[in-house]
Structure 1
Amino acid sequence: MDIQARSEGAGRFSVRPYTDADLPAVRALVTADRLPGEPPSSGHLPDVPPSGEDFDAVAALLAFARAHLGHRKLHAFTAPATTTGVPGLPMRHRPATAKALTAAGFTPATAQEYLLRDLDDPEPAAPDYPIADVTLLEDFRGWRLAAPGPDATGLLAGAVLSRPDPGSGTAALWHLAVHPEHRRRGIGHRLLAQCLDVAATGGGRYLAAFTDPDDEAAMRLLAAQDFNSIDTFAVYHCRP
């Protein structure tokens, strides 16, 4: 049975349960909505150009959801939004949805900046003196980079990369850290350069990175290695 939902000034929208017949249309929407560095949805569907968001439709769906979920704290966009598993709404690519969430009383609870490095433009140069030892991680499907300290005990710095996604060719930088006593010496820059080389020689087309958008040091480090900011992923909540 169709359930009717109305948002202010939006007209009427029909809301009904999902059926298997909806799968092609859903896949087409997902494919059209994908961000740079993300693969198209599975199912061998052609790319569909984005048709633009409909604020009224989003507002109607939110009104319907709030009416049926009751008086409780609500969360939105907590599911993985990328193949790397990072959750959130891409705020700059989905401005109408972000606006509708705000109008419905939702506020961003967490945010992660999504940055992408094209490994072909410019092609990363192999480091003359690799700073870290590289270990293949079979259980994680990735690599661990560990830069040993000067006395061979402890680490100067370390990083973890995932191997490239088969559909998009995107590897992901999951972690990069430099020991506090050794920061501001260019170690992070050298380690990141080696990460780019490992991802490229490992078959990657892109290297994705995620960081707190307010972390100025991390943002500067990534920008210095030609990472481009794609969007900010926000998880929303709404208190009763």
Structure 2
Amino acid sequence: MSVLLRPFTPADLPAVLALIDEDRLPGQPRATPELFAEASRGSTEADGHWWGAYGAPEVQVAVGSGGGIVGAVARARRTEDGAGLIPWLHCREDPVVADALLSHATAALSSAPGGPGPVDAFPFATALTQGLEGLPIGHRPVTHAALERAGYAGERLWRYMRADLPRPGLPRAEGVRVGPARDRGASRRLEVVRDGRAVAEAVIGRPVQGIGVLWWIEVEEAARGRGTGRALLGSALDALGGLGATQAVLYVDDDEPPGGERDRTAANRLYESAGFVEVDHLWSYALGGYAPRDAAAAQA
């Protein structure tokens, strides 16, 4: 199949939204014009601090031999040094289209003054998702393989999990103080208070299309082993339900093996026992330099 790359136009929006939705994971929102517009501005509640370093993304579409849109990719540059970013790519898991999109986007981003520069792919979330930082390689093996063929080095970052709400079998914490969250664009911060001070906290996000995010739970070491984390989890999921969520998602940075400094065995055990099910593992990618293998495949 021959593929032509050209800039996105507003008339392409329905086809691009359909492409994005074909890759939608359980626990993620449907692609809408509003979410696409926010993503195209380079903004999102979850990772706005990262996006602030980049210019607005440019979107290119891949047109197949029949004239239909068969893929799309977004690219952006970091304002400070021109380093490249590929925040998302969708191709119906067609290897020819994936290779063409990556070749085009990487060549364009690597043609910085002074020679080829670094390019990151799927490093953080966009407004098209509920905090989905990375590429879900179980659901997107063709895109993962295309990135490796293009010379990108991949790194596993997160375990992505979801559960339906409510979860009535969980305990609820006593002495919970609820207030606005201070970071990540989150909605609520819950604290378990003992003797006048917080010994545990949970942060939850504003639900989108009935999907809420549990950003994290943290329990002080002295308060662990008493069921505090499990009870706080129950209270946090109740709070998400009160905000209108019918399902919850979370991300566990369990890339380190058991016994390491950031061992997440206990966290995984807690979430699994509460009914959360693994959906996929999320990877991000980096390319230190780039030499186009086939410049003719990437048409502006």
Percent identical? 34
In structure 2, which of residues 122, 127, 135 is the aligned counterpart of residue 77 of structure 1? 122
Deviations 1:11-56 (A, max 9, x none): 6321112222211110111122211122212259xxxxx9941112
For the Cα contact (< 8 Å) 2:157–2:281, is it kept in 1? yes
Note the aligned Cα RMSD (angstroms).
2.5
- Structure 1 stretches of 5 or more lacking a match? 1-10, 45-49
2:151 corresponding residue in structure 1 = 105
2:20 corresponding residue in structure 1 = 30
For the Cα contact (< 8 Å) 1:132–1:145, is it kept in 2? no
Mapping of residues 1-240 of structure 1, within 5 Å:
12-43=2-33, 52-68=92-108, 69-70=110-111, 71-78=116-123, 80-81=125-126, 83-109=129-155, 111-120=157-166, 123-125=167-169, 127=171, 130-137=173-180, 142-149=187-194, 151-152=195-196, 154-165=197-208, 167=209, 169-214=210-255, 215-240=264-289
User: How far 1:92 moved relative to its partner?
Assistant: 1.1
Relative contact order, higher structure (CA 8 A, sep 6+) = 1
User: How far 1:125 moved relative to its partner?
Assistant: 4.2
Number of residue pairs the alignment of both structures matches: 218
Secondary structure class of the residue paired with 1:12: coil
TM-score, normalization by structure 1: 0.80
User: Structure 1 residues 178 and 138, CA, compared in 2 at 3 Å: closer, same or farther?
Assistant: closer
User: Structure 1 residues 96 and 132, CA, compared in 2 at 3 Å: closer, same or farther?
Assistant: farther
For the Cα contact (< 8 Å) 1:213–1:232, is it kept in 2? no
Bigger mean CA offset, 58-67 vs 216-225: 58-67
User: Structure 1 residues 32 and 75, CA, compared in 2 at 3 Å: closer, same or farther?
Assistant: same
Secondary structure class of the residue paired with 1:113: strand
User: How far 1:195 moved relative to its partner?
Assistant: 1.5
- Structure 2 stretches of 5 or more lacking a match? 35-89, 256-263, 290-300
